[in-house]
Amino acid sequence: MGRKILFITTDQMRFDAIGANGQKIARTPNIDALAKAGINYTRCHAQNVVCMPARATMITGQYVTTHGVWMNGVPLPEEAPSVARLLKEKKNYRTALIGKAHFEPFLDIALKFYENRMGRIGEFGPHRGFDHMELAAHGARGPLHYAQWLMKNHPEQLDNFYPVLGPDLFQNSFGEGDTGAVQVKHNPTPRGLYHTDWVAERTVAYLNSLDPNEDWFVWMSFPDPHHPWDPPESELGRHNWRDLPVPAGYPGSLEKIDAILKDKPHHWHDWWTGKRMTCFEAPPKWIPNTLTTDQLREIDAMTHIKNELIDEAVGKVMGAIVARGWDGDTDVIFSTDHGEFQGDFGLLFKGPHHVDSLMRLPLIWRPAPNAKVAPASFEAPVGQVDFAPTFCEIAGLAKPDWMEGSALPQTAAQAGGREAVFTEWDSQFEDISVSLRSLYRDGWTITAYGKTSLYEGDEGELYDMRNDPKQWRNLWNDPSAAAMKKDLLNDLRASTPRSETRRMPTVAPV
């Protein structure tokens, strides 16, 4: 019997969402306990800052230009490499994914993709190397297992959630909370029927179905705290938005936001003013400069509530693992797919913007206690591309050639060999395209813009993260940073993955 693996992910969670990373409002004791007993990586970056490319990187251990899922709406081929399949075939692991998968587009009216179809037809896999899948997304309607379960057992709840995929699909910028904040709704669904608790309960049920001597790899994937902001109404008393401060990353006035964004490449300011829609992960009709501080505080409160529910769900599953006698041999890795602006720069959501709000992730590895790995906190730059190689190392399996990352460092000496982490973005919608390549190294973040419909290819961003952690001052054209810019650009070019992968087509809206 070897080591078991619980891989926990959230969706669209900021680095500072948990107490272990400085959070002072949301209470996350269960996740914080994992950090205290394990390794907290404080400079983990996404290899792409939207869902599908990031999740494809996590399962393949490959960079975006290698696995080919270059933007949302591009499905990962079913035959693509999968660390779950590898663990199953080489080490006889039982494998499951419960919650949000999103390797295939959600907008799939014809149910072309098995990921979307299996819930409707009453199947649970196998798929992508997972023996068992029970899938959920952010709402209560659709073909996934959670929505089908609600429809069958609690149909009265179906209209309680914010209708992200409803008839207002491309105009969903309204809000039904106290402040009219975009995509906020007071959701009367009882907490026990909400998808966070459902994911935890289905994970416990799967674990309890296993033989005590089996090794397993279970990916528990929460759809929250991703927008819309509609946690159960019964939980709103946890944090009254009226009592909250404005998030620290909010510049403080429209005038200051205007000045900060004008110092960045123009698509930042264009989106904020509504001149040009370049953030295709946000409601098209929502204009960021209409965001009020009250609206931001209400969204902040909803996010903290969602994160507390996730933490309590993690505690429930960890309790089940202890009850089975598995805790000593179970590695737990906790992370997310990408971040969220949550008021930074006066913005919400995520998109073609390579800043800490979106790139920097919480990442905790609590090694199995029986492995006797010393607790630590490392600032070494690591990424999602390193997750799959780490699962291989836990299982005692050599990393295959198709994985491009490396196992996460477990000692200070190993961490000292990490110098930089790379992030890439490409998007194309109608006549608007954006292409970004970024590198974090030595406390600096540089982003080079490729030649596209919006840019000539000589634009970019450069931030001194130690002296400007909020990234309000772009040093790209500052003569005093010219030498550093040149050095980082050389490293960025050397670090950019070289791939022969043909760009795959988008098959659904982003």
Contact criterion met (CB below 8 Å) for 406 and 390:
no
Question: What is the residue extent of each domain of the chain?
Answer: 4-495
Tokens of 485: 């810019």
Say what percent of the chain tops pLDDT 90: 90
Q: Residue written as tokens 């491309």?
A: 170
Binned at pLDDT 50, 70 and 90, residue 281 comes out as confident
**Which residue in the block uniquely carries the two structure tokens 């730059």?**
381
**Cβ contacts of 254 within 8 Å, gap of 6 or more:** 289, 346
Higher pLDDT: 410 or 2? It is: 410
pLDDT tens by residue, 52-74:
999 999 999 999 999 999 999 99
- The two structure tokens encoding residue 282: 């946000």
Task: Using pLDDT thresholds of 50, 70 and 90, give the confidence band for residue 372.
Answer: very high
317-334: average pLDDT: 98
**Cα separation of 244 and 242, whole Å?**
6
Q: What is the pLDDT of residues 416-430, one digit of tens each?
A: 999 999 999 999 888
Q: What is the pLDDT of residues 428-468, one digit of tens each?
A: 888 899 999 999 999 999 999 999 999 999 999 999 999 99
pLDDT of residue 459: 98
**CA distance readout (Å), 308 to 291, 321, 419, 467:** 25, 20, 33, 31
Dist. CA 220–CA 90, nearest whole Å: 22
Question: Averaged over 35-41, what is the pLDDT?
Answer: 98
Contact, 170 vs 211, CB < 8 A? no
- Arithmetic mean of pLDDT, 67-87: 96
Residue 337 has pLDDT above 70, yes or no: yes
DSSP 291-315: --HHHHHHHHHHHHHHHHHHHHHHH
Q: Which tokens sit at 403?
A: 């994985």
Is the pLDDT assigned to residue 145 strictly greater than 80? yes
Looking at residue 398, what DSSP letter applies?
A: P
> Taking each helix axis from N to C terminus, what angle separates 51-60 and 387-395, rounded to the nearest 10 degrees?
30
**Secondary structure E strands in 357-419:** 360-361, 364-366, 376-378, 382-383
Q: Identify the pLDDT of residue 139.
A: 85
CB 148 within 8 A of CB 158: no
Q: What does the pLDDT average to over 105-117?
A: 92
Share above pLDDT 70 across residues of the chain, in percent, rounded to a whole number: 98
For residue 76, the 8-state DSSP code is P
Q: What average pLDDT does the segment 269-273 reach?
A: 97
What is the 8-class DSSP label of residue 461?
A: E
Return the pLDDT at 168: 53
Structure tokens at 74: 């591009």
In whole numbers, what is the pLDDT of the chain averaged over residues?
A: 95
Per-residue H/E/C for 284-295: CCCCHHHCCHHH
71 with 429: CB under 8 angstroms?
no
Structure confidence at residue 500 (pLDDT)? 63
Dist. CA 289–CA 270, nearest whole Å: 10
- At 318 the pLDDT is 98
Q: Rounded to whole angstroms, how far apart are CA atoms 318 and 302?
A: 25
Domain 4-495 in this protein, CATH class: alpha beta
pLDDT reading at 165 higher than 80: no
pLDDT tens-digit profile of 212-224?
999 999 999 999 9
Strands 444-449 and 432-441: antiparallel
- CB contact at 8 A, 447 and 436: yes
pLDDT of 166 > 60? The answer is no
Q: Average pLDDT, stretch 478-496?
A: 97
Cis bond upstream, residue 367 (ω within 30): no
Q: Give me the pLDDT at residue 477, please.
A: 98
**From the CB of residue 6, how many other CB atoms can be counted at a distance below 10 Å?**
23
Written as one letter, the residue type at 366 is R
**Residue 403 CB contacts under 8 Å (≥ 6 apart), including other chains:** 60, 61, 62, 81, 83, 385, 388, 389, 392
Provide mean pLDDT across the span 187-211: 98
Model pLDDT, residue 167: 53
- How would you classify the pairing of strands 94-99 and 132-135? parallel
Does 170 score more than 80 pLDDT?
A: no
Cβ density class 232-264: b for 16+ within 10 Å, e for less: beebbeebebeeeeebebbbeeeeebbebbebb
